[in-house]
Structure formats: C-alpha cells, structure tokens
Structure 1
C-alpha cells in the first residue's frame, strides 16, 4: 500500500494539468485497491459536487452529474466532512439514484472528503458489487490518499484558472493579512537566481536573438563543466567522473535543446523556457519506479540550475519597476524591498509566511499593503499582470474586472481621506480625555521609517532593528559603517530617545553571509544566543552604538531573546567593557540606559529579577505570543491560531507590568500589538509606559486614546480579563468601539471583514 501511495503521488506531481491528475487518481487508486469503481467529485463555484473523473461508472456522466451537500451519499460525506463506509449503499436514507452513472450495480460504498486548509474541495469514492464493508486498512489508505492529494488538487485548480496567457480572467487567491490597506498595481516577480521554481513567465522580443542567446549559454556551461572536470580529474573517483560525463551528455542532448528551442519559438524568454523543460524532466525522473533513475532527478535539477544561473547572469539588465509595483515572490527580504526605487512600491505578496513574519512587520512599518501565505498563487505566471492586494482580508486578485477595480478604488480613496483627517493630531499630545498621558514611540529599521515617523509626530523610537543594515550587505558591516548608520538614526530623532536592539538574527531573519540552518530555528540559535557566542560581533556593534551617541546622549540599548539572568549579566559585562575602552580612547560618551526584551515565556516569570538589574524592560509581543501559544508565526496553516488578544497573552502582559513597576522600572511594548488601536487601550489600562509601533499606526492609536477616559479603558480591560477566549474578547472590543463611533479606525473595513 505504501509503495502504491508513493507511486500515485509521484505520478500526480508529474501530471501536466488538473484533468490528468484526476484521471491518474481514479485509474491508479482503482488498481491499487483492487476495486471496481473509483470516482472523484469536486466542488464548483456554486458549491455543488460535480463528477469530474471516474473509472468504472459511465464516462458519459462526467461533468453531468452534480450534487449539493444535501443530495446523495457524496453530499452526505461532504456535509459531515468524514468518511462513510457502507456495505449496502441503496439501503442508506441519503442514497440517491443517478441513472446516467450506472452505479446501481455497485453495493459497497466508501467515500472520504478531500479537505485543504479546512475547506472541503471534493469527495473521493470507491465502489464494489460485492456487499461488504471495506476494511480498516482500505479506509485508511483512501483517507491517506485524500490527504496527500488535497494540496495538489487545490494548487492545480488555482493554477488551472490562469493557464493560458491569452485568457485573462479575474481570479481570487487567499492568504493572510500582512499589512493593512489596499494596493492596485502591476506584478513584479522577485525571482532568486538559479531557482527553477521561481522563474517568471516572460516573453522575448526577438525569437532568433533569444535562440542564439540560449545556444551561447549552453556552450558556456559545457565549457565550464569540461574545465571543472579536467581540473578535478585527479581528485575524483570513478562515480564522480561519470556524473560529469552525464552532465556533458545532457548538455549535448539535441532532444533536450530541441524542447527548449520549441518553447522559445513560441515567444518565451530563454530562462523560462529552460526552467519549464527541466522541471518536466525532473518530474518524469521523480515518478520512475527504478530507484537509480529516481535519484537522477536531482542531477537533472542541479544541471538545470547551472544553466539557468548562466542565462540569468548573461541576460541581467536593469529591472524596470512600474510606478505602482506589486512585489511578489516566495521568500522576500529587506534587501529585495530596498531594490525598488522610492515611491514605486505599492503592495507586497508573499507565498510564504504569515502576518507576523519579519517581512510583514517591515511592510507595516513603511505602510505597504501586504498579503502573506498565498500558497496557491501561481506567481511565476503573473509577471506584468494587474493585481489587487487586499491587506485587510488577505486576498489577492489577478486581472480584476472593471467593477472590482472600481470597488477597491473606493476603499483606497477612503484610506487616504482617513489618514488626511488624522494629520491634525500629529502635534497634539497623546492623552486621554481625563489627561492621562501615554508615550507613543515607533519601530524603525530603515531611514524611510524615520522620515515617516517624524512626520507622524513620534516621541521616540522604542525599537530600532539593527539587523536590517546587516541584511542589506553581503558581509558584516565594519564598526565605522555601523557607527555612521546609527548616528544617522540618532540624529534624525534627537533629542528624542532611540532604543537600539542588538543584532537579532536567527528564526526568520537570516544573513546571506552568516547562514544559520536548523530544524527548529525559532527555538534555536538566535538573538542574544548568537551574539554572546560571537562576542567579537557584539562588541563591535556596542562600540559603534556608543560612538554614535557621542554628544547626543539619546541612546538606549536592549538585548533580545534573553531567557536567563546569566545571559543578561554577560551582556552587561561586555557593555561596560566596550564603554571603558572608548573612554580610554578619549570619547566623550555617557553610559546609556540598558534594558531587556521580554519575549520568552520563561522571562515572563523572571521579569522582577530582570527589572532589578536593568533600567527598563521592553516586551516583544510578536515572539512572546508565538511562544506562549506554540504557533509558528511564519506558518500560514496555523495563522488563525495566532491571537495576540488570547487570554493567556493578556494575562502575561499584565503580569510583566506589575513585576516591572514593583522594582520602579518603566516598561514598554514594541511588538505589533501596540499598533492595534483597540489593543493599545488595553495596554494603556494595564500601565505600560510606552507603546512603540509602526509609524503608519501612530495617528490611529493617538486618535483612539484621545477619544476615551482612562476609566473607560480600565473598565474595558477589567471586562476583557474575565473572558475565556479570543472570540469573546473581540466581540466585547468591537461592541465597545461601535458604541464610541470609532469602528472605522479600529477595524478599517468594519463588520464586512
């Protein structure tokens, strides 16, 4: 059974389109289970289940038989979302006879739902003449088959909707909200070099020139492989020499080149033509039964990457970014965002990650509407196409209709009016109606953040992400380069305080020149753990920060991911060492306030111990929420379990304030929660001294704070803290803001979301 399952999945992965997938399923499952009928029913746009493929029923019934969730055994399986195993199908009260199928001959029935991301996609059915219940092993096989195929079918449906460049129809793809707002613009695919799966589907201007370019690329790689084989000949064993010979053989294979030539002749650019042909060959080898031949798939892929890198390098030219660029890709980074000229980035879509991924946080800080985790988006086929990015609902539309475009343009205009209406608040204090003040600071990382923050009336910086300048380089920045970067930030905000977090890499933040590869990176080597293991990196950074603060004295330093007192004391020792060194070198600097980030659950219970040793505490609510709820904030599959207003999170946040204030130490919060206007009221009521957020949320938070009394906020907090679940908390908050008329600010699209 396991071999059959593996074989079927390999064949499905190698299939060209959805129809082929379905035919493979019904044919191979029928053979593997030695039954007489296998059929697949898929849900259409009208929520009816349509017979899409069958082996054993009348072929003429395909696409003609349709059932609702209230009709027949198939509808019963779909509505219950669980298997149905019958030895006498006709005796079941939900049985419905469809004469065009010819299924009256078959008594035994086993149907299992096909579910993807909690959405019912269809039903997989097997039937047999003999009256018997299918055994547990057979039922388990079909359930496993359904689970394996659900993602394949979902992706095939999504890409099938866009198959054929000439047929452009409006299609919606779902992800999760990354940064609020709506963007209407043109797709630009961010494609990593030599990634066969990410090559955008682009056309060429001249077929003849492109064919010549392709042949030149092949010749260059052939020569390079031969040269490498010659240089390494004495150090290679026989098997490795055979591999080089195989590479050269594939490069000289006229049939392979002919396939690519045919695609180029159809008008496709050489990199896309090459990648699509290679991927087809990889699929073919991967689906072979012979283990040796299956292993050759990796060789084909490796060679494909070599040629692709050559083609991409040779054809590299200045990328043109439209005025309303929608940047789309798999793994976007700060450096990719930085390549887009100022003012041209309108929206971001990532097929990976969730609302609390690092790229989503960056997008919020610069106010770019973003959708994350759009796993079914066939982004390589969207380059140059019009997209709508709905950062409120987490939806992406390709080739929108005029009506949909007009509908979203209204929302864009409303957002502009809302921001314009809040501009009058930027110079007013952030205080409640009864004059309780709360400091509103900002989170920054790029100089563009600083400009936006100052325009919005920021009172300081609660988090400066020092890792971003590291990410924008291809090596560690020198002490002087860091000093200049930090000086620019400190000068921009002077005399307001700037809180600089020491280098925080690991987890979802990596440096190309300092790779950290772990099975579980969020629980691994990250934050202070990295820099304490590399004191030379930590000391250079601290020295650069201290030098940058000379004459300004508006610096605060905090360390991330601290989980015990020993880490804190070692970091303090290194800070004092750097400070003493600089005094000896003649620098006129003051010792800045030093703090700790509370983002590990263990740190919540040691907040009082930390507060007794530092000048301030700062809560990183993004990671704290992730660790408290055991939810990977980059995984779109569990994005709906990540709740910043979860009762456990709120109780931890209040406990931190109590413990910090018991030691006379101020506490701030610099996670994304602080920028949620509703959550900001709860945090203010808890007693947080500073709320630090993305600049784009600052005026919304200020507007809400200035509309209530502290007593109202405390009353809301008291009610919320008694509730057992996030849904109840959200209902109470929504009702409160409806009563105050602030719904548009707190929930930008109101109840329609």
Structure 2
C-alpha cells in the first residue's frame, strides 16, 4: 500500500470534469486506487463516487494505491489534484468548460402562483411573459411498470446484456443530439457521460445479479443514486440527482419498450403541455412551433423557464390543480404574464385574449416606427437607448430592436445557464461576438454578479440570513481570483474587437473599485507578456448601493461612467426586500419613490460634475412612467429589454424638458 496526502488545487474541486480526468488516469494503472476525504473513502476509478465525496478546492485528501504500479499511479494522481501536472493545468484553464457538471438554476425566491377566482382559469407560476391561444400538444410520460419477478440464474446474463445495449444506445443518442441541441447540448453530453460511468453500471448490474429484472434494477439503482446526490449540502453536486433520475427513466423506457411522446412530431404551432420537460425532451422540441409551454412541474428559475424567456415563448409552470383538465382540452389560452391558463376558452375569454394579443401587436407596430431613430428630447437633449442582454443568443433581438448598443450584458447567465462555468476562451468568444456586432457602439459588460441569493455551481457560499446584504457581486469576485481573473482576461482580449466598457457591480467603497482595477491591470500585463492582443476598456461602476450614491463624487473621479442599477438601489434605499411579496413592502419597493429619484439625481449630478456619462440599467429604465423622471434627473443613457427599446425612443422624442 502506498499513499499520499494532497491539497486539491483544481478550481471548484473534484466536480465532474476533474473527476473524469482522475478516473481516466487511474484506469491506466493496474493498481487499485482509493480516495479518502474526511471519514469517507471511495473507489478512485469511479467518477460518480468521487463526486459524491463533494471535495472542494482547498480540501486535503488521501490517495491510496495497492498494486505493482501503485507508486507511479498515486504520484501522478496527487500531482493532478494538486495542480502540479500538465493535465491539471488544462483543467484549471478550463475548469468550467466541461460538459458534465450539473445544472444549478439561480437560487431565487420562487414566484408564488396567483390566487384564482372562479372563472379566472387554472393558475401556475408565471415563468415567461406573453398571451397566446392555440391548440394543445401533450407530451405524455408513459407510466413505467417494471416486472418485479425474481430472475432465474440462467436469465441474468441476458438481462445484463439487454441493459448494456439500452444504455449504449441511449448514450449514443444523447451524444448525437447534443451537437444539434439549442441550449441543452451540454446537459445531453453530461447524461451521455453519466450513462458510461462504472458506478452506474455496477449499481444496476449488482441488482440484476441479485435477481432483479433490468428495468427494475435501473429504476431502483438510479433512484437510490439520485437520493445520494440530493442529500449533498453543496447545491452544485446535489443538482446531479435530476440527471441520474432522467437517465434511469430513459433507459428503463427503452428496456420496457414504452416510448414517450416524441416532441419532434409537432407539425403545426401549438401549446405544449407536459408533466415535466427534461433536457432530452427540450432538445427535440421544434421551438419555432411552440406557442407556449405549460407544465405541472417546474419553477420560474428552472432550465425550461430560462430557455422560454430567452426565446420569448410564454410559459406557465408548476400547475398544481386542474392539470388533467388542461391535458384534455383541445385549445388553451395561456397568459405567461399572469400565470393563468384557460382550457377550451369560451367566447368572452377568447375575446379578452384576442384584445390583449392585438394590443400588444399594435403597440409593437407603432413602436417599430421609432426603431432607427436616434432620440432627442424636443429641447435638444440626446439620450442613448440601449439593450440589456444575458448572452450572445439575445444579440439578434437587441439589434433588431434598434438598440444603440448594449447597456448591460449580464455575464452571470453565461455561468448559470449551463452545466458548468465557462472557460476564459468561451467567455472571450461571447464578449467579442457582441462587441463586433455593435461596432463602435458601446457594449457595457457587467462582471460576474452572483453570490448570496444567486450561488455559483461548485462554490460553497456561506449560509446568510440576508444574502442581498452578503457575499455577492464584486465582494465575492475579489475573494475568488481563480474565477474572476479568467473573466477579466477574456474582457481585455475582447476589447480589441469593439467598444467594450466594463462595469463592476455592488461597489460600496472606493477601495473595492481600486482593487478590481488593479486586478484587471495585472491581467493586462500578463496577456501582453504572453503576446496576446488585448486592450484596456473604459471602466465604470454599477451604482446600486446607498454608499455608492453618497460617495458618487469620489467614485466619479476614478471611473469613465456610471450605470445605476435601480432594482437594488431601490430595495437598499427603501429597506424593503424586492423579493418579499408582502403588499406593504411591494408598495415601498418602487423606483418612483421620492427617495430613490433623489438618489438618482445625486448620482447624475456627480457624474456631470466630472464629465462622465450616467445611465440606468434597472427595470425603471424601460418603464414609460419613469423614463421622463430619469431624463429630468440628468440620466443620459437608458438600457432595457429589447422589446421596450422602440417605445422608449418614442417617449424620449416626445419629451420637452424646457417646460419641466
């Protein structure tokens, strides 16, 4: 027996990709490998078992080997986890770029389903805005009832062979579909990797050897394994449970010859209704024919909700009561805005929906006339109208809207809407694509704004009684240079391709700004030393804390611009949690409160005194009632959802501040 202790220096710890690399190396040796963390010891040749250890970066583990080549095996594996080998350097350079880490949706407070009055339809969670009426297409998940009889000894080998064939077929299907999937390719690749893991195969075949039929063994083994992941304290690892359960269902369905409804068979526009829609279903949906989505399961932060919003598909999820009625209907009227669904709507309901749909279409038509206008108030003040986006996938909508640039690129969605964190190269590609598309127009990219209420996969954020006042935004990034520096390097590289401007979020004191700038400068020096083209972009801060508002004059002396985040500025100024649905708090947490507007004026005055521009990128920027107030306060740029850009241009063009 030979063993070594090693401190894990791989970013995010032994998540899926490093675990897979560890196993690949371990299997190249004949020696038995064991990994010990705390009081737990697992087989070092199983990626699933390694992940179940939940080993984070900075944790000390023991690697043991037993066999003729144990010394070489353990030494190589210790060098890998310690970050001292070429293989580990590759992992650290792209630790977030693998396709096998679990999806973790942003941990937001769930939107409560509205309370229905008689005749108001069936309620669920409003997950994506819009109103539609359309025919129903139901995705049925056939019940899986495996044979629970005890196998005879002569049947065991045949059942194992059937299981392996079904597993191989499914893994190949996942891998093939991943190449053409929209938004779900990495999830499918993860499922393919999971299907090949020895521990999954061993768990199922162990049950078959004990006399269970293949289908029963698959469902029992994946359910048990899913429970193990679900109990893990780290949400990044816990989320793996859903992958395991989905895998088990798909393999068992193949073994039982029970096909689910194939979503790819949708031939005409319709409302898709399903108990749940997993990654495999989503990859097969012809999204151009999906008018709306209605599901029994799901939340406003689930993967299906994120995809629906990105594609502008109305969605109502989490329908608890009346779901069977919806499945049986011939047509549905869906309000993703209100979270209501009407089965076979009567004439009055149809008329109401048709009025809302027509009004929305007419408003879009009228606003479209202002699409290419560079708006000025009637007294001659030019105001930039930009778009908020979360990924390059939203680029076409932003350009089509007539946006005069990007006022807020929320980079956290590059991190959260995927199975793993993006590499430097992946981030560079995304930022460069947006910058190039807008040419000389400004593209304001906010550095990673997560933590507290929005945890990152694989990072053990502390439990916080009030996460909005906790370890988030720039505070978290400055503490995690292994996460922050790749983003800064990507931004510096992408700045060569357009007018990128970088914005730091949640700044409370000047020292935080200086520390962030110093880290960016260090990254610039590194890139130049490596001979990599780069450029220092304009630097700004997102003013969203009262502290930043009160010291705006000090911050303005050290930045090129301000952008006001009215969502957080409002809740911090009014001491009212914007996620709390209590009516009294909801009335307080409004950007039109005098205190908030005075803060905006204070910030704008400080910006003008230093000759820098000041924008608003919170929800208030696109609010027709607030646009005049913000412009009067001195704001020179407004950034909003692309769908609101043309309307904002019209409102600005009709303002006359000389009469204010």
Range class of TM-score, shorter chain = 0.5 to 0.7
2:566 paired residue number: 621
| Change in CA separation of 1:472 and 1:416 when aligned onto 2, cut-off 3 Å | same
2:451 paired residue number: 506
Query: Could you tell me how far apart the structure 2 residues matched to 1:335 and 1:500 are?
Result: 32
Query: Could you tell me how far apart the structure 2 residues matched to 1:627 and 1:563 are?
Result: 12
Q: How many residues align?
A: 472
1:682 aligns with 2:629: yes
CA shift, 1:555, in A, is 0.7
Mean alpha-carbon deviation: is it higher for 327-336 or for 393-402? 327-336
Alpha-carbon contact 1:347-1:370 (below 8 Å) kept:
yes
Alpha-carbon contact 2:113-2:123 (below 8 Å) kept:
no
CA shift, 1:477, in A, is 1.8
Alpha-carbon contact 2:115-2:123 (below 8 Å) kept:
no
TM-score (norm 2): 0.59
SS of corresponding position for 2:440 = coil
CA shift, 1:593, in A, is 0.6
Alpha-carbon contact 1:506-1:526 (below 8 Å) kept:
yes
CA displacement 1:443-492 (0-9 Å, x = unmatched) = 11233421112112111111111122222332222221221111111111
Q: How does 1:237-386 map to 2 (within 5 A)?
A: 310-312=248-250, 314-315=252-253, 319-320=263-264, 324=269, 342-344=287-289, 346-347=291-292, 367-369=312-314, 382=326, 386=331
1:644 paired residue number: 591
2:494 paired residue number: 548
SS of corresponding position for 1:425 = coil
| Change in CA separation of 1:411 and 1:305 when aligned onto 2, cut-off 3 Å | closer
Alpha-carbon contact 2:129-2:337 (below 8 Å) kept:
yes
1:413 aligns with 2:347: no
Alpha-carbon contact 2:263-2:285 (below 8 Å) kept:
no
Query: Could you tell me how far apart the structure 2 residues matched to 1:666 and 1:633 are?
Result: 27
1:477 aligns with 2:422: yes
2:523 paired residue number: 578
Alpha-carbon contact 2:124-2:339 (below 8 Å) kept:
yes
SS of corresponding position for 1:594 = strand
Query: Could you tell me how far apart the structure 2 residues matched to 1:694 and 1:304 are?
Result: 32
Mean alpha-carbon deviation: is it higher for 651-660 or for 380-389? 380-389
CA shift, 1:508, in A, is 4.8
CA shift, 1:426, in A, is 1.4
Of 376, 382, 393 in structure 2, the residue corresponding to residue 437 of structure 1 is: 382
| Change in CA separation of 1:498 and 1:331 when aligned onto 2, cut-off 3 Å | farther
Alpha-carbon contact 1:462-1:498 (below 8 Å) kept:
yes
| Change in CA separation of 1:180 and 1:475 when aligned onto 2, cut-off 3 Å | closer
Q: How does 1:556-567 map to 2 (within 5 A)?
A: 556-567=501-512
Alpha-carbon contact 2:408-2:617 (below 8 Å) kept:
yes
| Change in CA separation of 1:371 and 1:708 when aligned onto 2, cut-off 3 Å | farther
1:654 paired residue number: 601
| Change in CA separation of 1:229 and 1:401 when aligned onto 2, cut-off 3 Å | closer
* RMSD over equivalenced CA pairs, Å: 4.9
CA displacement 1:655-698 (0-9 Å, x = unmatched) = 22123323332211111110112211111111101100111001
1:668 aligns with 2:615: yes
Q: How does 1:531-542 map to 2 (within 5 A)?
A: 531-542=477-488
1:600 aligns with 2:545: yes
TM-score (norm 1): 0.53
CA shift, 1:346, in A, is 3.9
Unpaired stretches in structure 2, ≥5 consecutive residues: 1-111, 150-158, 164-197, 225-239, 255-259
Unpaired stretches in structure 1, ≥5 consecutive residues: 1-153, 162-169, 190-199, 205-209, 232-243, 258-269, 279-301, 715-753
Higher relative contact order (Cα pairs below 8 Å, separated by 6+ residues) = 2
1:211 paired residue number: 145
SS of corresponding position for 1:473 = coil
Q: Highest Rg: 1 or 2? A: 1
